[in-house]
Amino acid sequence: MATPGDPVLAVKLAALKKIFRPASPIDDRELFRGRTRELVKVIGAVQELGQHAVVYGERGIGKTSLAYMARDSFRQTSMGPSLAVRIPCSADDDFASVWRKLPPRLVSELDLLEPSYAEELSSTVDRSKSVIDANEITPDVIARALHLISSRVPLLIVLDEFDRIGDLGSPTLFADLIKTLSDDLIPCTLVIVGVADDVDGLISGHRSVERALRQIAMPRMSPGELREIIVGGFAALHERAGVKITLAPQAESTIVQLAQGFPNYAHLLAGSVGEIALVQGLENAGTDVLALALKHALEEAQQSIRTSYTEAVSSARTDAQFSTTLLACAMAKVDELGFFAPADVRDPLTEIVGKPRETQHFLHHLKKFSDEPSWILEVRGEGRKTRYRFRNPLMRPFVYMKGLKDGYLTVETGSIRPKSK
């Protein structure tokens, strides 16, 4: 067991935290795992003149990380200096305010270029700023500003968190801009990144630019890809910090099942296992270490998820049943958009509590979960057609992890299931 404050341990922990990073996207190609098809598509788009890309999918699925890989590939294939900027969008933004963020971002990119070249380009960036500042900001004005820069240096712009843009008219203006860039052969690539079930939910008017806009749907990660994050992560730790930690196959497969396709949970759990193993000086980590890691990971999970879980399961009457119903919701069979019907909750709940449960026993729980203040579930349809899904898909793995930690679930012959009562 290492002592707290041990400087050697601190170095190893720092290396571990750079590898397993549940809260930040991957910008290091060596740590980027899987996603081969999506990478090929996005790289194809950034390398082809007149092509742009839209990357969409669930929250926390790895969209920004993919955009960083596209940026890397763009820089490498540009043969010479290039400018690649990421603009994060927010709820206060509209078309104009997004583009007002461009000049300062370009200036900080210039700092990364060779000084003589940066100096040469800075007057171009200034001119594009004047174009943006002097005019009402329309797609044509932005196309002009982008043309100024991209005629001097290859230019890539990632518009991240695009779904957060508050102004409803903006998505059409972005589609118009893509059309102009593409028709006028302006050598600037846009990569639009955001949370959405489909492209329609992200950018309206995209049909008019279908040929110019490569659509990249980010699915949940496959078990193989999640395994790559875990195994590849520990291999990187060995390489970078000389520490060997081997995970028992059952611990590895439990992490993969708990993560449910979300890479950040693979990072969170594998990172917690790694931390415990480093502190305890273990080379092999089994299910006992994973059990400790689970507790740690639940405490380290996103604050918003933890708060929203607590709000959902707490009650004036100490009704412990809320947590079991929520767990059954997390285990319910879902359609391709993640929705389940009340009837889908019945069987898992019956298994969890060990006695027959009918819809009338828990329907009021579903109502509470989908109402103020919890809002943990979102509702579609009415009456018999009512369907529910987790508003934040990252809640489902959290509820699973909690169920395992609290003893409602167990790992039997390699799979997670309700503990028999």
Ligand X SMILES: Nc1ncnc2c1ncn2[C@@H]1O[C@H](COP(=O)(O)OP(=O)(O)OP(=O)(O)O)[C@@H](O)[C@H]1O
Choice between 76 and 415, CB closer to ligand X: 76
132 versus 236: smaller Cβ distance to ligand X = 236
Residue 229 contacts which entry, ligand X, Mg ion, none (Cβ below 5-8 A, type-dependent): ligand X
The entry of Mg ion, ligand X, none that residue 19 binds, CB within 5 to 8 Å by partner kind: none
Q: Which is closer to ligand X, CB of 267 or CB of 365?
A: 267
Residue whose beta carbon is closest to ligand X: 62
CB of 53 to ligand X, least distance (A): 14
12 contact, one of Mg ion, ligand X, none, CB 5-8 Å limit per kind = none
- Token pair 């898909």 is found at 393
Residues 6+ apart with CB under 8 A from 384: none
The partner in contact with residue 105, picked from ligand X, Mg ion, none with C-beta cut-offs of 5 to 8 angstroms by kind, is: none
The residue among 25 and 171 lying less far from ligand X, judged by its C-beta, is 25
17 neighbors 270 (Cβ within 8 angstroms): no
- Which CB, 163 or 176, lies closer to ligand X? 163
- Using CB under 6 A, list all residues that contact ligand X: 21-22, 24-26, 32-35, 59-65, 195, 229, 263-264, 267
As measured in angstroms, the least distance from the Cβ of 196 to ligand X is 10
Q: How far is the CB of 44 from Mg ion (least distance, A)?
A: 21
- List the single partner that 130 binds among Mg ion, ligand X, none, CB under 5 to 8 Å by kind: none
CB atoms within 10 A of CB 220: 17
Beta bridge partners of residue 159, listed in sequence order: 87, 192
CB of 186 to ligand X, least distance (A): 27
Task: State the minimum distance, in angstroms, from the CB of residue 68 to ligand X.
Answer: 8
Q: What one-character-per-residue DSSP string does 84-148 give?
A: EEEEE--TT--HHHHHHTHHHHHHHHHTTS-HHHHHHHHHHHHHHHHHHHHS---HHHHHHHHHH
Nearest to 183 by CA among 204, 212, 145, 206: 212
- Look at residue 65 and give the partner it binds from ligand X, Mg ion, none, a contact being a CB closer than 5 to 8 Å depending on partner kind: ligand X
Cβ nearer to ligand X, comparing 62 with 171? 62
Binds 274: which of Mg ion, ligand X, none (CB < 5-8 Å by kind):
none
Which residue in this structure is represented by tokens 């875990």?
230
Q: Which of Mg ion, ligand X, none does 22 bind, CB closer than 5 to 8 A by kind?
A: ligand X
Q: Minimum CB separation from ligand X for residue 272, in Å? A: 13
Distance CA 185, CA 189 (A): 10
* Cβ 90 to Mg ion shortest distance, Å: 13
Nearer to ligand X, 33 or 206 (CB): 33
- Applying CB under 5 A, the residues found at the interface with Mg ion are 64
Q: Exposed/middle/buried for 156, CB within 10 Å: 0-12, 13-18, 19+?
A: buried
Q: How deeply is 30 buried, as exposed, middle or buried, from its count of CB atoms within 10 A (0-12, 13-18, 19+)? A: exposed
Cβ within 8 Å of residue 182, ≥6 positions away? 50, 51, 52, 209, 212
In the DSSP assignment, the letter for residue 229 is H
Q: Which residue is nearest to Mg ion (CB)?
A: 64
Cβ atoms of 309 and 398 within 8 Å: the answer is yes
Which CB atom, from 68 or from 95, has the smaller least distance to Mg ion? 68
Question: How many CB atoms are located within 10 Å of the residue 276 CB?
Answer: 20
CA nearest neighbour of 362 among 388, 394, 390: 388
**What is the end-to-end Cα distance of the chain in Å, rounded?**
37
Query: In angstroms, what is the minimal distance from the CB of 395 to ligand X?
Result: 13
